[in-house]
A and B are shown apart, each in its own frame.
Chain A
Amino acid sequence: MSIITILIIVLVLVVVYALSVYNSLQTIKTRIEASIQEIGNQLKRQASLIPNLQESAKGYLKHEKTIYKNLTDARKAVDEAVKSKTGSKINAAAEKLSAVLPKLQVLVESNPELKADNVVSKLMDELRDTSDKLMYARRTVIDLTQDFNVRLVTFPSNIVANTFGFKKQKGIVTPMSGKHVEVSAAETKDVKVKLD
């Protein structure tokens, strides 16, 4: 084997190595963009889903609160009536009770607590599913865009792509810099949870 042959082989190996490094760097760069777009995907899902879930939960709690309030009022009236031992007060308390009792009966018989719970939980399921559908649809765009863009910048497919004028696709447009990819000094501090 002459020196020239060895040198050529070494040169070919170096070129092949350099090309593979170039390609992997370009691929990782495209993937980084795709993963930042995924952050945008999740932020968008969060922005619409959380307020909707919050409102459903509030609605359910309000329903519970009303029944609880009626019960508490009735009980207070009974307590007062028993303490005062006056006939009229006892009558009034009895009336209050008989007003609440049918509501309670309806409660117990048809289990509206469970019913409301079921209706609300079904609503929350549908809310989450709708959000998920949008999220996965956006993810499809991100993945396809990434597959496409990778071919535009890696060798040798970039030659063909440039010849035919293929342009980089935008995907789910997310700013590549900004608060969502930065950690501020305040956020690095230890978080203390207070429950009152």
Chain B
Amino acid sequence: MLNIYEQVDRNKRKSAIIMVLFISFIATVAWILAQALGYGLSFVGWALVLSGLMSFFSYYFSDRIILSISGARPASKKKDFHFYTVTQNLIMVARIPMPKLYVINDSAMNAFATGRDPKHAVVVATTGLLSRLNRTELEGVIAHELSHIKNYDIRLMSLVTVLVGIITLLADWFLRASLFGGGRNRKEGGQITVIIMIVGFILALLSPLIANLIKLAISRRREFLADASATAITKYPEGLAKALDKLSKDREPLEAANKATAHLYITNPLKNLHGGIGWFAGLFNTHPTIRERITALRKSI
């Protein structure tokens, strides 16, 4: 039995460990690929700039982009009393400013939060979710979303995306260079160069995949942390557990969502209707399974 404080501590620790592993992986692969290419670290710099530029706009304007894609309307206290007042109350304990609230007209149950920092945050919920959850369960869900904002998860995932982008670019350049005979010719040849080339080749093929898998693992770890932070706010894990229970029984996929936005939602909106996701396919999940999350919540007091 873990208490609420320990849950948060433990999740923060696991999240930090995986971030360290991730950054070490990125740094190692980037170094090897740069060496193999023969151009050194300047290429890594270029990859960083390019990757950063590509991700910058989607990160900076994440709130506006998502709202235009999803067709959401602003929420009001009159029309959405519980949604509005619950958020008003929880931001006190979360110690963040009031985010902009929006509602998507869809009978599928889901909610998400986005925004580059707590001052530009947005929380969106579907009419399906708002009508089917009672106030206590809604508190759990909103607390989870506010935790994402408070923990700067959107910013973190954007940075992770940039880092994955660096590796993808470097790998791509390396493969092109070796196929089209680019790269500086090394005057000192020998076995080490050959080994580095071979290792570089394997890494160039595998590292984008591995980097993405680690990115998804980070995403799952942050989901657990958001669940733990939510219970630190509400001091009532059963609220969120019951909400997740109801969400797991809702088989309807959310029309407004697609693969690009799936990771922002409280549960994967692209429902696995055929069931039986194997372990390997599970590695590609942006969220932990609902069963796992409910178990973790009910383990805390």
Partner of B81, one of A125, A132, A140: A125
Contact with B along A1-42 (1 / 0, CB 8 A): 000000000000000000000000000000100000010000
Contact with A along B1-17 (1 / 0, CB 8 A): 00001000000000000
Query: What is the interface of chain A mostly: helix, strand, loop, or mixed?
Result: helix
List which A119-136 residues lie within 8 A (CB) of chain B.
Answer: 125, 128-129, 132-133, 136
Q: How far is the CA of A31 from the CA of B95 in the complex (A)?
A: 19
Partner of A143, one of B82, B93, B135: B93
Interface residues on A, range: 10 to 19
Q: Which residue of chain A lies nearest to B90 when distances are taken between CB atoms in the complex?
A: A136
Contact A132 B93 (CB under 8 A): no
Residues of A within 8 A of B261 (CB): none
The residue in B5, B88, B92, B95 that gathers the most chain A C-beta atoms within 10 A of its C-beta is B92
Q: Which residue of chain B lies nearest to A122 when distances are taken between CB atoms in the complex?
A: B81
Contact A136 B89 (CB under 8 A): yes
* Cβ-based interface call for A139 (8 A): yes
Q: Which residue of chain B lies nearest to A146 when distances are taken between CB atoms in the complex?
A: B5
Residues of B within 8 A of A132 (CB): 85, 89
Q: How far is the CA of A168 from the CA of B85 in the complex (A)?
A: 33
Q: How far is the CA of A132 from the CA of B136 in the complex (A)?
A: 11
Contact B85 A129 (CB under 8 A): yes
Contact B135 A128 (CB under 8 A): yes
Q: Nearest chain A CB to B206's CB is how many angstroms away? A: 39
Residues of A within 8 A of B88 (CB): 133
Q: Which residue of chain B lies nearest to A34 when distances are taken between CB atoms in the complex?
A: B5
Q: Nearest chain A CB to B103's CB is how many angstroms away? A: 18
Partner of A38, one of B89, B90, B235: B235
Q: How far is the CA of A143 from the CA of B90 in the complex (A)?
A: 13
Partner-B contacts on A (CB < 8 A): 31, 38, 125, 128-129, 132-133, 136-137, 139-140, 143
Partner-A contacts on B (CB < 8 A): 5, 81-82, 85, 88-90, 92-93, 95, 135, 235
